[in-house]
Amino acid sequence: MGDMDLSSAASSDMTNAVDDVTVDTVNTDAAGGQKETTWQNSKWSQYLGYYKTIPEVKIAIDTRATWTVGKGYKSDSRTRITLEHFKGMGIDTFTSIMKNLVINRRIGGDAFAEIIRDRETGQLINLKPLDPGAMKIVTNKKGIIIRYEQISKTDQPDKKYSPDKIFHLTNKRVADEIHGVSDIEAIENIILANNESFDDMKKLMHRHVKPMRHFKLSTDNQTKIDEFIAKVDEMTNKGEDMYTPQGTVDFELVAVPSNATLNPLPWREHLRNYFFQVVGIPQIILGSSGEFTESTAKIAYLAFQQSVEDEQLDIEEQMWNQLFIEINFEFPASLQNELISDTKKDGENQQVDLQPADATISMGSGT
């Protein structure tokens, strides 16, 4: 019989059994000690690919741009006349130009537009959005932008712009960085996990409808095997039956039973909710019932409103600082007045109708 004495048994503290969760350290992309520091977004094409191919990313960024600048703006008549003549690339409007810039800075962290003025009067006459992936930001050793460089996509030389020739919007710039931060940077892992889950679900459903078949052939002649593969493929494509001599072919279905794997739908729902939570867009804004009650939906809406108005204020200030244009973007619809009204109603409903006789004070007997 084996030794059953456990007094010498060693305990495990899980050291080296489970790795600690770590996050890579990050340093800011700031100006160095050299005379000039340049920065160009090397991930713009990748982030643009996410935006154009991932539905959740596109609808989140587009929705944010629509709520930020899509309602319109208030300004004096002279400013409105100026902005209404903006044509961008030729067929744009001021609103479409601003939507373009908001989308660009959300995707890549920075948005650029060429400032075009009348050569004689210096009057601002247009803003033309530029490709953020082709733009370089150049700063001096103190971190101040001294020019922009546009990398040519043709055989023409690169073009240089002084700071007053480029309208530049940054997204959530941190510390002393000389560029903005892409929204996609923080949600990239969620995007990849969601795509992976989608592909897994797609393959699983395909195998339920069209299971794999394992054919066992009574020959090792490659020519005959190739002929059989061609016949099976043709039969499958046409949906026709196939007949073979008995004993020459045997097959079995290779399929995944319906309950043999974890249900991926809760995981996909979690990823969806987590995604929109991170990007800061309540699903009620998209017409979904992501919020459980009317009260939670209203609170989420107000939080979203505050975030949108903050971005509107940032763009308004940048337009004044860089273009000397003063406007106020309108917010599509506010719930603030409705919530104040609901609060007053709740207070009135809680009041008790007291009669004079109910308000008598009972004095206890003295000792």
The answer to whether the pTM exceeds 0.85 is: no
Query: What are the tokens at 355?
Result: 């009669």
Query: What are the tokens at 257?
Result: 């039973």
Q: Where are the alpha helices (DSSP H) in 280-335?
A: 294-323
The SS3 assignment for 166 reads strand
**CA neighbor of 36 nearest in space, from 139, 134, 123, 186:** 139
Residue 258 belongs to some domain of the structure: no
The number of distinct structural domains making up the chain is 1
Residue 91 belongs to some domain of the structure: yes
Distant-in-sequence contacts of 236-239, Cβ < 8 A, 24+ apart = none
- C-alpha 69/C-alpha 96 separation (Å) is 9
pLDDT in tens for each of the 367 residues of the chain? 555 565 555 555 656 665 665 666 777 878 877 899 999 999 999 999 999 998 888 999 999 999 999 999 999 999 999 999 999 999 999 999 999 999 999 999 999 999 999 999 999 999 999 999 999 999 999 999 999 999 988 888 999 999 999 999 999 998 999 999 999 988 888 877 777 766 666 666 666 666 677 777 778 888 888 888 888 778 777 767 666 777 667 666 666 565 556 666 777 777 777 777 777 787 777 766 555 677 777 888 888 899 999 999 999 999 999 999 999 999 887 665 555 455 555 555 555 454 555 544 444 444 4
Residue 146 belongs to some domain of the structure: yes
For 8-59, the three-class secondary structure string (H helix, E strand, C coil) is: CCCCCCCCCCCCCCCCCCCCCCCCCCCCEEEEECCCHHHHHHHHHHCHHHHH
Residue range(s) defining the domain that contains residue 105? 36-175
Residue 216 belongs to some domain of the structure: no
- C-alpha 65/C-alpha 103 separation (Å) is 6
Residue 60 belongs to some domain of the structure: yes
Residue 124 belongs to some domain of the structure: yes
**CA neighbor of 259 nearest in space, from 206, 199, 195, 204:** 204
- C-alpha 150/C-alpha 138 separation (Å) is 11
- C-alpha 305/C-alpha 64 separation (Å) is 11
